[in-house]
Amino acid sequence: MSIKIEHLNYIYSQGTAYEKQALTDINLELPDGQFAGVIGHTGSGKSTLIQHLNGLIKATEGTVYYNGENIYAENYVMKDLRSRVGLVFQYPEYQLFEVDVFTDVCFGPKNLGLPKEEVEKRAYEALRQVGLKEKYFKKSPFELSGGQKRRAAIAGILAMQPEVLILDEPTAGLDPRGRDDILEQIARLHAERGITVVLVSHSMEDIAKYVERIIVMEKGRVRFDDTPKKVFEHDRELEQIGLAAPQVTYVMRELKNRGMDVDLCATTIDEAKQSILRCMAGRG
Amino acid sequence: MIRDITIGQYYPADSVIHRLDPRTKLVATLVFIISLFLFRSFAAYLVATAFLACVIRASKVPFRYMVRGLKAVLILLLITVLFNMFLTPGTPLVRIWKLTITREGLTTAVFMAIRLTYLIIGSSVMTLTTTPNQLTDGLEKGLRPLNKIHVPVHEVAMIMSIALRFIPILLEETDKIMKAQMARGADFESGGILRKAKSMVPLLVPLFISAFRRANDLAMAMEARGYHGGEGRTRMRPLQYHRRDGAAYLSLLVYLLAMYAAKRIAGF
Amino acid sequence: MGIIETRHLTHDYQKIDEDGKTQVSCRAVDDVDLDVSPGQFIAILGHNGSGKSTLAKHLNAILLPTQGTVYVDGLDTRDAEKLDAIRQRAGMVFQNPDNQIIGTVVEEDVAFGPENMGVSPREIEQRVEASLKTVDMWEYRKHSPNRLSGGQKQRVAIAGVVAMEPMCIVLDEPTAMLDPVGRKEVIRAAQKLNREKQVTIILITHYMEEVIEADRVIVMDQGKILMQGTPREIFSRVEELKAHRLDVPQVTMLAHELRKSGLPIPEGILTVEELADAISPLVNHTESKKG
């Protein structure tokens, strides 16, 4: 049971002067319960790719399978897919429109045709999951702060209780505090509910801490697809395509160059610290 | 991508017509259109055809681009022609079932068709050879005398050029919001008119809010760059008439005389 | 005389209260004294809502102080007659690249400022060329802004300000909406202006790595200046920054953690090089002791 992409190609504005191959021969499989990160800079095709996963964009060529079913099959119910694969767009607060936060979060489950009590129950739960306090529920979404708006918008997707949650740059434009809050909440969601989470980002340092797998996109192709440690080993190549490994990777490399026997695979501050201390202790 | 939709349909090429001052082109288009309605005769339309053909030739824009504009108004054109053909009283020519085509009706219909077609081709020549910016510049400078009677010419031109800048952005935004709401199960396609109208709320509210926010930001950015209306403003490339514009006005005059002569002398 | 001076600058916003009825005033900037000397590169850090953007908008008279005064090159921003002069001296670049480009063609947009100032057409052409070249966007002069990347758009916006030949440019979170590549492009352009043209730069951001090369860093919190000093001084106070949930560059953080674990590493490490330099002698030291 998973999402599977086979030989996916996508061409923008096919047949016009602006024709552009956005995705080339993508093959991916996302098993249930995985916490994956998709990295690439603007124009690498990462946003286009994730919009295929819930059928908002139809591939020019290739197939997407959800739980083994071809989503392009004639009798496939797209609306059903969209409730199972929740997609949170970049700057999702721009989609808020209702009179108050609670009603806005109800929009998704209401569209699923659920009874009123169930809709409200889900909305309530979703808002709690994103850590929005009850005193904000009846406020206009436009009175909230940037980070709160963002969380309300994410709750709007969560209320549909998707099996897969995809977030396109959920921290864009937020300050460090807002960013950490959102990432922590997503990590907790993944841990508690065991849903599959795909985090799209252009910041390595942000996602290295959380994900178990990193998919690096470049010019519409998958360039690397592995565990964070394995991916960061390619720091030179990552730099060439305008991405960088977390700063600690460079520290470890530099220390290694100077003859210290440190662990090159350290990607977080804590791992680096442990490795350096171990190395010192070993010597001393 | 939706961003690629450009407003207007400028066709880049290096031709005399492209290089003409936008004011010249605006005046010429206006005069041409008026002339079509003023000189109602086949002989005059022959002159107009020749004139239009020469201009198109000189513009170096492929002919198919010229007629593209016609597609959009084809239905309107057909309806106008049919109405005129069947509903004008006069000497009957043919009778089909209950409908009668009269001689007068036929003439009016043909005239109407020619006028509308030429009107559209004529304005296409202008939009194809003039960038939207030149057009607003031309309007601003050409209409400046209206300032005296308190018509806010500069403001109108500024609004037009800001609209040109933001329409593609808002189109793209529409696309994005629609997708975001579809991801939340919104349905923009099915249902009757009432349901469809209702389903637009989740699209229109965010779109309006975004447009207002953008307007607010832009106003601030313009103010920060010292904008204080049209007064005391200079232009990087102020519009200037050249010799070719003189020649163009002269050709226009010759055209008008020819139209007049054609109607008077040929008389059909 | 500083290029920018604020004295007891205070700004209140009017806001609707929680119950939705009464208006309350909300203090965004609280008694701030700021002095910026010509040619400095100043970075202002702080969370959203810390008052840093409100402060920035005072520096070219988009907002006027509720209390206190702001002087730009000696001109009081409340003096309505000096408004044009103030805006020419202190330019401003905003966060959203799409919402600050007015022209439909790059060069037209850059010309917008000088046109408003009534500069002669020939000089506008020269200024547009010079400023687009400064930000490396000259080859895009005929392009539509809609087809540029975020970083390119922000550089066009910077060129638009540079063409007004200001003494000081305030950049209000110019990189918040950009990807890492775009962010670097913009910061590099600002640094180049500062070094080569001696333009005073005031950069507002919440990305720590962008402030490392600043002459002075100002940290704002709740409308007040919380800390002020060189990047090294500021980043020596890791615990304090963390308490306010501000970011610290990963190397600085790692150095701090190692220090806490007992290694004799100085505070305020800012680069990978510095950290390696601090660690490697320790190893050699222990080795030589052993030998």
More confident residue, C147 or B258: B258
Q: Check B187 against A79: CB less than 8 A apart.
A: yes
A154: closest CA among A113, A199, A191?
A199
* Cα separation values, A131 from A127, A179, B7, Å: 6, 14, 44
Question: Which residue is listed with tokens 């979703």?
Answer: A126
- pLDDT tens-digit map of A209-234: 889 999 999 999 999 999 988 898 88
CA distance C248 to C237: 10
Same domain, C266 and C215: no
List chains adjacent to chain C, taking adjacency as at least 3 C-beta pairs closer than 8 Å: A, B
Q: Taking all residues of chain B, what is their mean pLDDT, rounded to a whole number?
A: 86
pLDDT at B1 over 50: no
User: Within 10 Å of residue A38's Cβ, how many Cβ atoms?
Assistant: 28
Instruction: Say if C242 falls within a structural domain.
Output: no
CA distance A3 to A86: 13
From chain A, which residues contact B within 8 Å (Cβ)?
12-13, 16-18, 20, 51, 54, 56, 79, 82-83, 86-89, 92, 94-97, 107-108, 111-112, 142, 156-157, 160
Same domain, C74 and C214: yes
pLDDT > 70 in chain C, percent: 95
pLDDT of residue B3: 40
pLDDT of residue A155: 95
Ramachandran category for residue A120: left, alpha or beta (phi over 0 → left; psi -120 to 50 → alpha): alpha
DSSP state string for C239-256: HHHHHTT----HHHHHHH
User: Within 10 Å of residue C33's Cβ, how many Cβ atoms?
Assistant: 11
* Shortest distance, CA B236 to any CA of chain C (angstroms): 4
Q: Which of A243, A270, A283 minimises the CB distance to C283?
A: A283
- pLDDT tens-digit map of B49-68: 999 999 999 998 888 878 77
Chain B CB contacts of C145 below 8 Å? 165
CB-based contact, B218 to chain C, within 8 Å: yes
User: Within 10 Å of residue A257's Cβ, how many Cβ atoms?
Assistant: 10
Same domain, C210 and C71: yes
CA distance B96 to A184: 78
pLDDT of residue A16: 64
Residues 139-178 of B with CB under 8 A from A: 173, 176-177
Chain A CB contacts of B183 below 8 Å? 54, 56, 82, 86-89, 157
Chain C CB contacts of A180 below 8 Å? 245
Q: Taking all residues of chain C, what is their mean pLDDT, rounded to a whole number?
A: 90
Q: Residues A2-21: what's their mean pLDDT?
A: 84
Instruction: Say if C278 falls within a structural domain.
Output: yes
Same domain, C153 and C290: no
CB-based contact, C265 to chain A, within 8 Å: no
Confidence of residue A88 (pLDDT cuts 50, 70, 90): very high
Instruction: Say if C241 falls within a structural domain.
Output: no
More confident residue, A107 or B105: A107
Residue C90's Cβ-count burial label (10 Å; 0-12, 13-18, 19+) is buried
Q: Check C99 against B217: CB less than 8 A apart.
A: yes
Same domain, C141 and C279: no
For residue B3, the chain A residue with the least C-alpha distance is A18
pLDDT > 90 in chain B, percent: 33
For residue B184, the chain A residue with the least C-alpha distance is A108
Confidence of residue B98 (pLDDT cuts 50, 70, 90): confident
Same domain, C158 and C284: no
Same domain, C144 and C278: no
CB-based contact, B238 to chain C, within 8 Å: yes
For residue B167, the chain C residue with the least C-alpha distance is C146
CB-based contact, C58 to chain A, within 8 Å: no
pLDDT > 90 in chain A, percent: 62
* A52, A40 contact by CB (below 8 A): no
Q: Which of A82, A94, A96 minimises the CB distance to B183?
A: A82
pLDDT of residue C79: 93
* Element (DSSP H or E) covering residue C169: strand C168-172
For residue C46, the chain A residue with the least C-alpha distance is A175
Same domain, C196 and C257: no
| Range in A13-17, A72-76, B161-165, C135-139 the model is least confident about | A13-17
pLDDT at C289 over 50: no
First to last CA, chain C: 60
pLDDT at C1 over 80: no
How many domains is chain C built from? 2
Chain B CB contacts of C128 below 8 Å? 236
pLDDT at A83 over 60: yes
CA distance B156 to B135: 12
Q: Check C101 against B165: CB less than 8 A apart.
A: yes
Q: Residues A158-172: what's their mean pLDDT?
A: 94
Q: Check C100 against B228: CB less than 8 A apart.
A: no
Same domain, C162 and C264: no
Which of A95, A105, A166 to probe by mutation at the B interface, max B CB count within 10 Å? Answer: A95
* C67, C45 contact by CB (below 8 A): no
Determine phi and psi for C9, rounding to 5 degrees.
Answer: -65, 125
CA distance A153 to A91: 9
ipTM of the complex: 0.89
Instruction: Say if C196 falls within a structural domain.
Output: yes
pLDDT at B43 over 60: yes
pLDDT > 70 in chain A, percent: 98
Q: Is C186 in a helix, a strand, or coil? A: helix
pLDDT of residue A117: 95
Same domain, C227 and C253: no
Q: Residues C260-283: what's their mean pLDDT?
A: 89
CB-based contact, C180 to chain A, within 8 Å: yes
CB-based contact, A244 to chain C, within 8 Å: yes
- A:C CB pairs within 8 Å: 99
Instruction: Say if C281 falls within a structural domain.
Output: yes
CA distance C19 to C97: 36
Q: Check B221 against C124: CB less than 8 A apart.
A: no
pLDDT at A120 over 90: yes
pLDDT at C291 over 70: no
C6: closest CA among C224, C234, C230, C227?
C224
pLDDT of residue A18: 67
Same domain, C221 and C84: yes
Taking the domains of chain B in order of start, what are their residue ranges?
2-142+240-266, 165-224
Q: Is C26 in a helix, a strand, or coil? A: strand
pLDDT > 90 in chain C, percent: 74
Same domain, C215 and C276: no
Q: Taking all residues of chain A, what is their mean pLDDT, rounded to a whole number?
A: 90
| Range in A161-175, A261-275, C56-70 the model is least confident about | A261-275
Instruction: Say if C265 falls within a structural domain.
Output: yes
- pLDDT tens-digit map of B238-268: 888 999 999 999 999 999 999 988 888 876 5
Q: Residues C187-209: what's their mean pLDDT?
A: 94
Instruction: Say if C243 falls within a structural domain.
Output: no
Q: Check A284 against C286: CB less than 8 A apart.
A: yes
Q: Which of A244, A248, A280 minimises the CB distance to C283?
A: A280
For residue B210, the chain A residue with the least C-alpha distance is A94
Instruction: Say if C218 falls within a structural domain.
Output: yes
What domain range is C271 assigned to? 249-291
